[in-house]
Every structure is written in structure tokens, then in C-alpha cells.
Amino acid sequence: MPEPLPETAAICLGEAMIMLAGGPGPLEDVETFRRSVGGAECNVAGGLAALGVPTGWISRLGDDGFGQHVLRDLQARGVDVGGVELDPVRPTALYVKESEDGRSRMHYYRAGSAAAAMDPGFLERPEVSERLKQAKLVHTTGITAAISTTSAEMLERLATEPREFLLSVDLNWRPALWRDRDPEPLWRLLKAADIVLIGADEAEVFAGTGDPDELYERLETPVLVVKDDAHRAMVLEPGGRTEVPALTVDVVETVGAGDAFAAGFLAATLQGLPMTQRLRLGHLNAAAVLTAPEDHAPPPAREVRERLLSCTDEEWAATKIGAA
């Protein structure tokens, strides 16, 4: 008999990459790199699992050492990877982080990757379709819509076919990936979603406006989450607007903070918490990543989370998060 599927309340569908971080200085001078796992959807999957949400990550990886490392890393973080398909020909994608003069620059090597070969038929694999059927929430991003035409078609099918789960989409606008391509498939994906997460700065570039009310009207999504960097985050929904200021944070690295916010907000959504607490958990999770050099980090301890989720607005505003 086949093994029973693990319980999964959330499924994250999208690309994973190996991240190679060098020491300070230009790439041509760096001799040693530190390896870790990155990618928006797998960052969110790990973040959800760390918050106690049974989570699976579905994608394609190269049948290579980097792909095996991604699987081991996510499994160690409590994420189900039984829906992952290994490709014997196409490689696992990677990106290199170059740090110079206190700034980070990313160099991506993802063309022709195993993840880019995802297509609508990928959803029909029993390992994938059965997991999607039992999920309460499925999360993806505009990056997966951008890495190939076939992956965009896959997400359109996911969004338009009858479904029982909530569909969450983080814009994650990457202009370089959409160069010479019409972003209309991404607009359709966002409008079909039940929850849309979007940064005010990226919305300015993508939609020509960062105004939350205008975005809400144009996207027509039931729940719109607008993140305004280090200032605030807000939710617009039929019942009105909820806004929570960001915490004061000793920032080490910003990469991955948006994914961590998404994980916190979606975990609190699945737990049925009030909207203010959903935004607070998003901020708390993001703050943990902002104080770490990697793309992901453990969330604040449970007792810290519980205290700050229920504190007064004045106590929240006075809270500062450091690396310790």
C-alpha cells in the first residue's frame, strides 16, 4: 500500500535556489563561498513550518548535489518535500551574493533550470495533485510566474480551476525576469488570488502606484496586504483597513525579509488570529530575518511572540529587535 500523505495545511509552490555568499569584495577576488538555500516559496515554506504550520514545498530540482542539499535542508526544517520532482538533465538554479562597500548584489544563474520546466501537466502528478487537494492554503509568487512561460501557464491553471484552498500570491516583482515579456499573466494571477501580498515600492514600478486604495480597487482581491518597508504594513479587505507599524530592527541583511513576513502573516491567517495579530506576526518573523545574514532565520521564541502579539500598541511601538 502507498504511504499515507503527511498532513499539510499549507503548500508552497515555486522555485528554490542554492545561494553562494562570498566574503567582502568583488567576485573576482573571492576565493571561498558559503552555501545556503534560497528562493521565495521555499523560504516561506520553512518559515511556516518553523511557526508550527504543517507545510509542504512542491517544485522541480536538478538531480544533482545542489538539489539534494535543498531537499535535506527543507526536510531538516520540517517541510514535506514528497511532491518534488527531480530532473536528470536540467540543473538546480543558483545565485551568488556579492558584497562590496556594505552593499549586496545578486547574480542569478537560473536559465534552463529544472524549476523553469514546470508546466500545467506538473500539477497532474499524483504526488502534487493529492497534496493540493488536502491543502487549506497554497502560496506562490510572481517569480515562479516569471521564470518561464510554462510555469506561468501552470500557475494560471492552478488559479483558474475549481479549488478548495485559499490561494496566496506575493507579487515579488522582478523586472529583469519580465524583460521583453507581457506581464499580463501576472496580473491575472494576482486578480485570481484570495490573498495578495505586495510591497509599496515594487507596486510603484509594477502597477504605477503604491497607493493601497488604488491597488485594492485594481486588483479586486479579497485580502490585500501592502508592505511599506520599514514603516508599516496594512491589510485592505471588505471589512475595512487594518494597519500595524513596523518594529525597530538592527538590520544585518534585508534579503528574505519579505518572505518571512509572508510566512508570519499566513501562519496567523491559518490559525484564525485577528488581523492586527496577523500583521504583527508578519513583522516579528521579518525582524528575525533582518537580523540574520541568511535568507531565513528561526522566528522569535514562542513566549516572545505571544507577549508581543497581545501587547498594547504603545508597547509594540517601543519594541526593538536585535540580533540577540
Please give the positions annotated as active site: 259
Residue 110 CB contacts under 8 Å (≥ 6 apart), including other chains: 15, 17, 93, 94, 95, 116, 147
Q: Which three cell numbers stand for residue 132?
A: 493540493
CB 237: neighbour CB atoms within 10 A?
Answer: 15
Q: Would you give the end-to-end CA distance of the chain in angstroms? A: 48
Residue 90 gets which letter from DSSP?
S
Q: Which three cell numbers stand for residue 202?
A: 515594487
Which residue has cell 532565520? Answer: 297
Measure the CA–CA gap between 292 and 138, rounded to whole angstroms. 27
Which residue has cell 501592502? Answer: 226
Measure the CA–CA gap between 217 and 106, rounded to whole angstroms. 34
Closest C-alpha to 226, from 256, 261, 254:
261
Torsion of CA 153, 217, 15, 128, to 10 degrees: -60
Measure the CA–CA gap between 252 and 269, rounded to whole angstroms. 28
